[in-house]
């Protein structure tokens, strides 16, 4: 199984400051069709997850442009250009290139410092 490793696991951020979360996979996430199936999700306390980014860098509809995804191969990053209060919660990366299983990272908890 592909292992997804996120860092940091805890991320205290001052409002208005940038934030960055790393996600590394144990093997390349490039699929045979040339696409890389790496998604990012955000889960606010007490809510269901919401997808922010699909295929590394594509923002879902309604996702603010302060969120951006980048990376390739085994190394991926989610960046928030200026953290807002509504951004608190846990962020997960998930790979859906090599299945089964789809595998999630451990989660990164973002809090306001």
Interface residue with other proteins among 11, 78, 90, 110 (CB under 8 A) is: 90
Rounded distance between C-alpha atoms, residue 87 and residue 105, angstroms: 18
Of residues 51, 55, 66, 98, which one binds other proteins by CB under 8 A? 51
Interface with other proteins (CB under 8 A), residue total 22
- Which distant-in-sequence residues (6+ apart) come within 8 Å of 65 by Cβ? 59
Q: Which among 20-28, 43-51, 63-71, 72-80 is the span making contact with other proteins, rule CB under 8 A?
A: 43-51
**Residues with Cβ < 8 Å from 76, sequence gap 6 or more?**
22, 23, 24, 25, 29, 38, 56, 69, 70, 93
* Comparison of 59 and 66: residue with beta carbon closer to other proteins: 59
CB of 15 to other proteins, least distance (A): 26
Minimum CB–partner distance for residue 14 and other proteins (Å): 25
Query: Distance between terminal CA atoms of the chain?
Result: 36
Chain residues in the site for other proteins (CB under 8 A)? 39, 41, 43, 48-51, 54, 60, 90, 92, 94, 96, 99-107
């Amino acid at each position: 199984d592909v292992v997804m490793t996120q860092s940091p696991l805890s991320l205290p951020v001052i409002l208005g400051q940038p934030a960055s979360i790393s996600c590394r996979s144990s093997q390349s996430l490039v699929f045979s069709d040339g696409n890389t199936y790496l998604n990012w999700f955000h889960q606010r306390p007490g809510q269901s997850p919401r997808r922010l980014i699909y295929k590394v860098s594509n923002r879902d509809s309604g996702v603010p442009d302060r969120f951006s995804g980048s990376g390739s191969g085994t190394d991926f990053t989610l960046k928030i250009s200026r953290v807002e209060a509504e951004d608190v919660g846990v962020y997960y990366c998930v790979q859906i290139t090599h299945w089964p299983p789809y595998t999630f990272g451990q989660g990164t908890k973002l809090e306001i410092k």
